Amino acid sequence: MEFEPVGFIGLGNMGGRMSRCIVRAGGTVLGYDVNPEVIRDAGAEPAPSIGELTEACETVLLSLPDSRVVETVVLGDEGVLAHVKPGQVVVDLSTSSPESTRMICALLSQKEAHYLDAGISGGAAAADVGKLTLMVGGDEQALEKVRPTLDSFAANLFHVGGPGTGHTTKLLNNFLNAVSLAATAEIMVAGKKAGLNLAVLLEVINKSSGVNFATLNRFPKIITGDYLKGGLTNMLMMKDVILYTELTAQLGVASLNSAGPLASFGLANALGYANEISNTVVDALGDISGGVRLCDPEDEP
């Protein structure tokens, strides 16, 4: 694959993985992160500043914690907006507020640059092997321009509509992810306390109507003590659920099912699991259910 050097701002948990995919595909990445130590680990060359990175690259990718950080990076005095050129494409791979995304898109459009909101799904495991799913909002021609770069870390790429629709789609998907993870954690703790064989319980569920992503891909590992570290944290999952509730409020949609994941991931954050992978929500529920752990310590790998 051949494509021009790519600028990448935010080379942490997910950004670093996507950057390495670009490099493995034959690309060159110019990187910027508040933690300079992660830049080389991501296979990138360090950029002196956000502004110089923006000036050097036709495509700029963002992978940042939330809309507040995205706005700081893009709209700050020495941010992306101050240095962007006509025709450039900025792709926000973060999970951001659609309202904030549309505002940023409008500001970049005034400089004849493009802003794509590209929600991602698949987690760290899919990012490691370049098999993420991307849901992209914004100008379709701009998407085609950067498609070779995105294809280096995405197995599935959907253009879902205009500005903000990528992040809207991501919030809807992430809410279902949060519901299924929190609900499955609860029933697995109940299964443990009931004395069930958890492997058999999962096998039954995965052949029955309760099957979901968590039962198929998360809990077969968790019951052996492997929490699949490296994915979305409890704090970030809580942030995504809150963004979802804000979205439904703006749309006038009754969000009757948000209380469960808000309570579950709020509990995990309160009990000290905020920066642990969101799969540890099962331990938070176990803590208040009598100190339950799905895997006995002596059985862990």
pLDDT digits (tens, 9 = 90+) for 64-111: 999 999 999 999 999 999 999 999 999 999 999 999 999 999 999 999
95 closest CA partner among 37, 178, 39: 178
Q: What percentage of the chain reaches a pLDDT higher than 70?
A: 97
Q: What whole-number distance in Å separates Cα of residue 90 and Cα of residue 201? A: 46
What is the identity of the amino acid at 170? Answer: K
Q: Do the domains 168-299 and 6-162 match in fold?
A: no
pLDDT digits (tens, 9 = 90+) for 153-212: 999 999 999 999 999 999 999 999 999 999 999 999 999 999 999 999 999 999 999 999
Out of 3.40.30.10, 3.40.50.720, 3.40.50.2300, 1.10.150.120, the CATH code matching 6-162 is: 3.40.50.720
125 closest CA partner among 232, 237, 231: 231
CATH architecture of 168-299: Orthogonal Bundle (1.10)
As a whole number, the mean pLDDT across the chain is: 95
Active site residue 193: no
Q: What are phi and psi of 240, to 5 degrees?
A: -65, -40
Is the Cβ–Cβ distance between 53 and 60 less than 8 Å? yes
Catalytic residue among 85, 111, 131, 170: 170
- Write down the domain spans for the chain: 6-162, 168-299
Residue-wise DSSP of 124-153:
HHHHHTT-EEEEEES-HHHHHHHHHHHHTT
Supply the pTM of this predicted model.
Answer: 0.93
Q: Could you tell me the two tokens for 124?
A: 């760290």
Is the Cβ–Cβ distance between 265 and 244 less than 8 Å? no
Q: What percentage of the chain reaches a pLDDT higher than 90?
A: 93
